[in-house]
Structure 1
Amino acid sequence: MDLLLTYDVDTTTPEGRRRLRKVAKLCEGYGLRVQKSVFEIVADEVDLLQLIDDIDNIIDADSDSIRIYRLPHGGFENVRTMGVAQLQAHRQDLVL
């Protein structure tokens, strides 16, 4: 499934800045960063459940906000970009 994940972590405290780094690092392990706090993720149901659980263990539910949108399959191929934004290859082989 194609997912769009956005987050807004309260960084007014040192703890909040740590949570922000943890959420960003976690999301980097699941998908591609397309903006500072926006990730495009291709995942199966198990990965999605694990991601939700991991995020839930990091954030402060009283001050942080996470949004996960489920897109139609192939949704990333139908993105219009403007400015310096570029389309990302989600289902191609990864070369390290």
Structure 2
Amino acid sequence: MYVLVTYDVETASPQGSRRLRRVAKICVQYGQRVQNSVFECSLDPAQFETMKSELMKAADLTRDSLRFYNLGKNWKRKVEHVGAKEAYDPEGLLCV
């Protein structure tokens, strides 16, 4: 499954800044950052549930918000990239 994850973390306090770093770190473990608070993740259902659980524990759900968009298996027809920066292809070659 292909999932788009977005978040908005309140950063007016030092605790908020720490939460923001934790949320971003979790997202980096599961996907590719495509914008500041937007990640594209290619996951199986178990990985998705694990990531979602970790994010919900890291965020303060009274101050922060998380959004998960499940684009499914045929996600390529649903995503159109226009503008600067080359689009990320999770099924393409990976150079390390």
TM over 0.5: yes
Count of aligned positions:
96
Report the Cα offset of residue 32 of structure 1. 0.6
The 5 A counterparts of 1:10-89 are: 10-76=10-76, 78-89=78-89
3-state SS, counterpart of residue 23 of structure 1 = helix
Question: Structure 2: which 5+ residue stretches go unaligned?
Answer: none
Q: After TM superposition, which residue ranges in structure 1, 4 or more long, deviate above 6 angstroms? A: none
AA aligned opposite 1:8: D
**What's the RMSD between the two structures over aligned residues?**
1.4
Per the TM alignment, residue 51 of structure 1 is displaced from its structure 2 partner at its CA by: 0.4
Q: CA–CA distance in 2 between the matches of 1:85 and 1:8?
A: 23
Instruction: Give the share of equivalent positions with the same residue, in percent.
Output: 38
TM-score normalised to structure 1 length: 0.91
TM-score (norm 2): 0.91
Using the TM superposition, give the Cα deviation of residue 78 of structure 1 relative to its aligned residue in structure 2, in angstroms. 4.5
- Gaps spanning 5+ residues in structure 1: where? none
Change (3 A) 1:42 1:81: same
How far did 1:74 drift?
Answer: 3.2
Q: Which moved more, 1:1-10 or 1:69-78?
A: 69-78
Contact 1:10/1:17 (8 A) holds in 2: yes
